[in-house]
Amino acid sequence: MMTAPWRRFGRRGAAAIAFLLAVGVAAPAHAQDEAAHRKAVADLLRQLRAEDPAERVAAAAALGELGRTSARALVEALDDADVGVRKEAARHVGTVGGASADAVPKLVALLEVEDAELRMAAAAALGDLGRASVPALIDVLGDEGRSAAARAAAAVAVQHIGPPAKAAIDTLIGCVAQEKSERVRAAAIPALGAMSWRAARAVPTLAKLLDAKPARIRRLATWTLGRIAGEGEEAELAAKRLGDALGDADADVRLAAAGALGQLGERAAPAVAALGKALGSDDDDLTIEAAATLGRIGEKAGSTKAALQAIADDEERSESVRAAARDALERVGR
């Protein structure tokens, strides 16, 4: 038997959409209809908080079906007295289209709320809105009078936007270089990574962070250096400092450094000696990563052939380690 076309949206979702179709989903003609239009969308937002998963799925599907027609109501719902409704509005307003100009200031205001879930929903929406959010996000990042939570959330939004937010690079570098809050710094570093080579001028700043005390900051810096190194002097500095990080006291930092060097490929040649030393580690993951990176470097890693051969022939090492060494030998050249 054929299912009624709106049944999949649930009773309330079907009722809301039926109303919106009746008054005209694109633009309600009368103020009374417009108020009812907003109420119908608000009902769907509340339905997204229902205990029954089927009800929540139905409401999400209904809002998705409405698309741009729900934009105005979603923007207004960002001011709803119910925090749950504000959360659901934030989760959808960035993806329905047609809401960016009005939504940005309201979402920026939500970056300051104490509710972490609402704050990050607002950050995600700002990220979804893309370029329209960038000027406001730069203002938040550069405003030391704002809370660390808000500035960190703004950095997360910039990371989500990626290269279209390249205008924020210098502000992010400032956050990394001068920031007193570890929380803001930890969010700004991967945001730079999302810019890829466009943020190569941040290499000297990030290279200094490989001496930072928090291991988390060192791990983030190593990962990001591999993403942004670019060419020339920046790549050489990144490779040297990442080579130093292979000797870090923290195992995760060492592994992250080996992986970051792998992203550099041939540009990681200045770290060949450090990678050769890492081959002798008791940490199989580090040895495998170091061998793989040497393979990506190729002929310039020729000085490590003997070490790679010794590992390939060592029956006491795991097969995965030996296989990594054999693969690297093929690429380095016997």
Q: Quick: pLDDT tens for 165-220.
A: 999 999 999 999 988 899 999 999 999 999 999 999 999 999 999 999 999 999 99
What dotted CATH number matches 99-194?
1.25.10.10
Query: Which pLDDT does position 87 carry in this prediction?
Result: 87
For the ranges 5-9, 131-135, 232-236, the lowest mean pLDDT is seen at 5-9
Q: Quick: pLDDT tens for 221-247.
A: 999 999 999 999 999 999 999 999 999
**Residue 116 to residues 110, 119, 138: CA-CA distances in angstroms?**
10, 5, 21
Q: Does pLDDT of 295 surpass 60?
A: yes
Residues 6+ apart with CB under 8 A from 69: 20, 25, 26
Q: Are 155 and 187 in contact, with CB atoms under 8 Å apart?
A: yes
Mean pLDDT on 64-89: 78
E strand or H helix that includes residue 315: none
> What span, in angstroms and rounded, lies between the C-alpha atoms of 137 and 303?
48
Query: Which pLDDT does position 319 carry in this prediction?
Result: 96
> What span, in angstroms and rounded, lies between the C-alpha atoms of 84 and 115?
10
**Residue 159 to residues 118, 170, 217, 221, 293: CA-CA distances in angstroms?**
18, 14, 17, 15, 26
Q: Which residue ranges make up each domain of the chain?
A: 1-96, 99-194
Q: Quick: pLDDT tens for 113-124.
A: 999 999 999 999
> What span, in angstroms and rounded, lies between the C-alpha atoms of 177 and 175?
6
Higher pLDDT among residues 58 and 164, named by residue: 164
User: Hey, is 45 helix, strand or coil?
Assistant: helix
| Nearest-10 crossing angle of helices 100-110, 83-93 | 130
**Residue 324 to residues 92, 129, 161, 295: CA-CA distances in angstroms?**
45, 43, 36, 9
What is the radius of gyration, based on Cα positions, of the chain? 26
* Dihedral (CA of 22, 27, 31, 36) sign: positive
Q: To which residue do tokens 């924020």 refer?
A: 168
The percentage of the chain sitting over the pLDDT mark of 90, rounded to a whole number, equals 67
Q: Are 64 and 36 in contact, with CB atoms under 8 Å apart?
A: no
In this structure, what token pair is assigned to residue 305?
A: 């052939």
Q: Are 272 and 294 in contact, with CB atoms under 8 Å apart?
A: yes
Query: Which pLDDT does position 11 carry in this prediction?
Result: 55
The model carries a pTM of 0.83
